[in-house]
Chains A and B, each alone.
Chain A
Amino acid sequence: MANNAAGRDIPARIKGLPEIRPFEGAFKNTPLVRKQKGSRSLPRLNKIVDSIEQAVLKSGVQDGMTISFHHHLRNGDMVLNMVMDVIANLGLKDLTIASSSLTDAHTPLITHIKQGVVRRLICSGIRGELAEAVSHGVLDTPVLFHSHGGRARMIEAGELQIDVAFLAVPSCDVYGNANGYTGPSACGSLGYAKVDAVHAAKVVLITDNLVEYPNTPFSIHQDHVDLIVPVDQIGDPQGISAGSLRMTRNPRDILIAQYASHVIEHSGYMEDGFSIQTGSGSISLAVTQFLRDVMLRKNYTASFALGGVTGNIVTLHEEGLIKRILDVQSFDQEAIRSIAENRYHTEIDASYYANPHNKGCATNKINVVVLSAMEIDTDFNVNVLTGSDGVIRGASGGHSDTAIGSGISIVVAPLIRGRTATVVDRVDTIITPGETVDVLVTDHGVAVNPKRRDIYDRLKTKHLPLYSIEQLKQKAEKVTGVPEPVQFEDKIVGVVEYRDGTIIDVVYQVKD
């Protein structure tokens, strides 16, 4: 028998229960509360620090650690560079950067790589000068390229352990409730950041819009947040989102979109209550537009649209043609407005979206997905990462996640860009395996994967220019001529992880 701090006698052991821990006082084991009730100063209730430097120091970033970022601010992101400049100034070394993706905004990373601050990159894709530098071997350790679903999987499986997540948030209160759809740097969904907020050992939010508590509705929850840094600006609105994506006038894109919409209409997968993911490319936008006509004509509504969301998906939602939107990433101003306003435009995180190993991801419920390709080969393998010169200039994104999850996956692309053929014998880098790609739609013709005889049979009477993919490849080659193969060095600069954690391909350093 011992008195506990409340003056009660509590037995040390009670039969059938584990060891008893006697009460030690209200403040002893709850550190994050006011130590004295009634004190007007609020120690520890405010997570705000004055500068990024303080946040880096307080969060305990050390040499060799893994720190993470998200790419919802796209080309307008300022936060990754701000944080890395501070880290470099503090003399930290050998960090791994796990950013959900890297964009044109992240060129300054090249300097940090060269100076040994950054040792490794883990991301969905890289663009611009940083991609050029990586392709030319600036890193000693290869970049790990993952899909959006694959990233969530590796974080939840503990394969990617994030020491500190530095997450830009367009609005945030003093306790860490944050969302992406209010504030001058609004970006819409924070789907990729949400996973990091839950799983990183330390979470630092960086915002240019501190608002009154509680900042509801919130995407990132106060109970996951360690520190908050207010700054002048987290992003350039010009680069964060496209103003409004307009319907293309390019006749070639319109032709491809018409064929794609025709394929979808007659594929057997378009019926009342179907679901769809299109995307933000100009052909995809036009496909959505043509599908709207089909839906009106046939009196169909879609149960939901998934994915990267654009204004024309929002228009269909507001017209009642798409009942619900599940949004992991909002591409334009309209999508950002809608996720804030519309009750059934719901933000989802990357795991909910596409993690293949959780208990059910949304990509598994998609009937139709429209995808792009830089290259596709005669086995239907798709490359969306490396260009025709072998240089990295793209991202894995949700390509492989949606291709396998959907009832029908349709790749749309011009057969020839300039004099570069899209259909080739062998793609440079496989991102999405051909066994998950069902139909290729080009301006010169449509090819159905021989595995999908069912789709071919439904389409063959529908006045589509159907060819085998080998025929399309020959058509392209007849126009362009046979290019010389790209020359590579022996060094591996990138490893492509399939969404399940296995390695599907590697990227080599390009030769000059």
Chain B
Amino acid sequence: MNCNDLADRLTTVVDGGATEEDEAAVAQHVATCDDCRQTLHAQTTARTVLRARSAQLAVTAPPGLRTRLVASARAERPEPKGVLSWRWSLSAFAAAAMLVLTLGAVLLPVVTERSTVVLAAQLALDHLKCFVIDGDVSGSPISKAEAEAIVQRDHGWSANVPASTDGLELMAVRYCLYGDGLAAHVLYRADGQPVSLFIIPGLTRPATELSVLGHDEVVWSHGGRTYMLVSAAGTKAGLARVAWYLQNEAR
């Protein structure tokens, strides 16, 4: 038996994957060949040492790396159209947000009674907070029944939450800031773009469409509740289609 011919089989024996036939051939050969016996011993020893010490050899990634990776992947996800339009004027947006939040803390229940625009601004912020700032809503869609159970649990009233349909996925229901949880915030993805539906009981607003804080909103009322659909600006055509579906479903 030639040493070169045997080399790979010898390695396979060290790795524990050799056939009985190869094991026998290698055993027979090393009994008479010092070089190959040494090779077998050296390989076996090196592997044994490494296996025994693998835990000690492992390194730990630096603490910030995981966060950095997750953030980099999120930054790569398709930007919701229109989000850039608020990012470019982030300082202006922040000023508006401050104003609305300040007003909100003191005056919101009163002001929103009068101003659909201020209400729309507040909900645009809540939409941003839940969808864009708080992070992704990219898990699996939930069922209509699950969504309605969450509304019942969190708000204590029942709502007809429109189910997913072609091009529209029902993703989550969140307890929202506005009015101390008064509004139910239903999160959808329409063709991958974040869209929020707010259901506000006990409030009737005239149907309208408006743009505020870089967001397009569709407002309608039904059964003593106001529905406000919020999406980043620039998706108006899609938003109208979603609004039409939701208006028909959410009765």
A and B bind: no
A contacts, CB < 8 Å to B: none
B residues at A contact (CB < 8 Å): none
